Structure 1
């Protein structure tokens, strides 16, 4: 039984997305470009599906049950956090990070297959969430959006990924720093991953959300799912029980690229964010699009931001 008595939930801070600075990466970064592209919606569905290969995360999701009682809200809050880490100012990012870790601290319990205790803040589980998120969003950007980043941009993107991991409980030395290290990480993780009955249920619920959760979520999940699945290796698809015909793999990417190319208009991008993810994500994306120059137009490190805006700084102010 989980120790959590309420559904873990992340709520965006009651301030606009970029007031004090440019956050950790800045306007010219590949991170801003990749995480605010329409393809990020596909990458996000891919990532939250892959999370269920971690038995501890599957147990946490199943015990808390938020994706079943409020799938739209859970997806919206999760994507909003990733977006804040990528493009918000450092104050909002630090506040969001501390709030989320506080919420995750309540999500503990026993993983039923191994009998081991799990914690949503466990560094290994947090690293799996982080790497699958950053890798999935880039993978879908490359496959359905503008294409691969330049070598310099890709090097910077993975350096940014390491920086963003500082907002979670990840061990810095464990975070992959290149595409090759990401491949090595997945190879190292593969023997540790599994797909139980509860994992299958979670994956299929996120890929093909039932109609009783609302028409938009039902229809949106089914439109995006084939695109997300098409980016995955065969072993993941077979292990997760959501493989699809090769004909769909061949036909879907071209159609998705055409659709994504048509979403250059900001209003259309916001509509995708609102209907495909949720209102919090759409609000943050809109603020990102409209944000002017912040009070201090520089980037900072997470440690610098924590000194300025962390809980310890707020309590002594």
Structure 2
């Protein structure tokens, strides 16, 4: 597949009321998961999982100098994009998607091992990134203790079809259930590998470059290392095996326990401290609708 597969909708495609509520709305499972404290850990896990696609990883390594030098900033930008898509108005979300599409359309390359020529906005690469994000955010939220039934989980996967279509994935290619998502990963796993670029990307996420004064005078290094290490430990066993790293010393049970402790610690903070400005603005804008539950 080559090139972005779907047209971006415009303001004429929705009513003012739909614009106000956004693409998901406060009664969605998407809001529950993306406003949960587990979101940051799930985002890190998603980046590490995404690195295992040789062509997608080649696109990042070849076209994103910022990721090599300041990988945490890529995580922040990606998190802000997903939050805007989730909690922003449809107009705000469309503007964010248009920026991302514009960037994607400019980049491409040839992956050396396979010889595949690609564009960053090839639909199969966009689908890989999307499915890694959905699977990571969902599985991390469930392991962290967010009360989600199997029906809720399927609903989340279905809701997220809208996000995939917005960024350019053909709708009929996107899984709509957890079982469909699991089957998709089973199909794609034989093509995955921990390339040199992938291993370097994970090392930079675990130990990102920091100014000496930050390392010496602040707790940034151990705090970030603990968070990133937890994200890695939450990867599925087959992904950790591809990286030849069993889990940074954490068993699956210990990783789940650490995630739950992290989540409970953040839930004890006031909402204004644990929600980003984007999330708070969305909740305040739709205050008359069904509230987000913890």
Q: Tell me: CA distance 1:240–1:231, structure 2 relative to 1, closer, same or farther (3 Å).
A: same
CA distance in 1, matches of 2:191, 2:287: 45
Q: Tell me: CA distance 1:19–1:181, structure 2 relative to 1, closer, same or farther (3 Å).
A: closer
Relative to structure 2, which stretch is displaced further, 179-188 or 155-164? 155-164
Match of 2:66 in 1: 66
**Alignment of 1:192 onto 2:191:** yes
Per the normalisation by structure 2, the TM-score is 0.82
Match of 1:260 in 2: 263
Match of 1:307 in 2: none
> What runs of 5+ residues in structure 1 fail to find an aligned partner?
1-17, 271-281, 298-317
Relative to structure 2, which stretch is displaced further, 232-241 or 177-186? 232-241
Q: Tell me: CA distance 1:247–1:39, structure 2 relative to 1, closer, same or farther (3 Å).
A: closer
In structure 2, the residue corresponding to 1:259 is in which secondary structure?
helix
Question: Which residues in structure 2 correspond to 1:16-165 (within 5 Å)?
Answer: 20-64=19-63, 65-147=65-147, 149-165=148-164
CA distance in 2, matches of 1:252, 1:165: 29
CA distance in 2, matches of 1:240, 1:247: 15
What does the per-residue CA deviation read over 1:36-91, in whole Å, with 9 as the maximum and x for residues that have no partner? 11101010000011111111221111112221223232221111111122222111
CA distance in 1, matches of 2:75, 2:249: 28
**Alignment of 1:285 onto 2:290:** no
In structure 1, the residue corresponding to 2:176 is in which secondary structure?
coil
> What runs of 5+ residues in structure 2 fail to find an aligned partner?
1-16, 290-294
Match of 1:236 in 2: 239
How far apart are residue 256 of structure 1 and its match? Answer: 2.8
Aligned residues: 267
Would the aligned equivalents of 1:51 and 1:128 in 2 still touch at CA under 8 Å?
A: yes
CA distance in 1, matches of 2:200, 2:106: 23
Per the normalisation by structure 1, the TM-score is 0.77
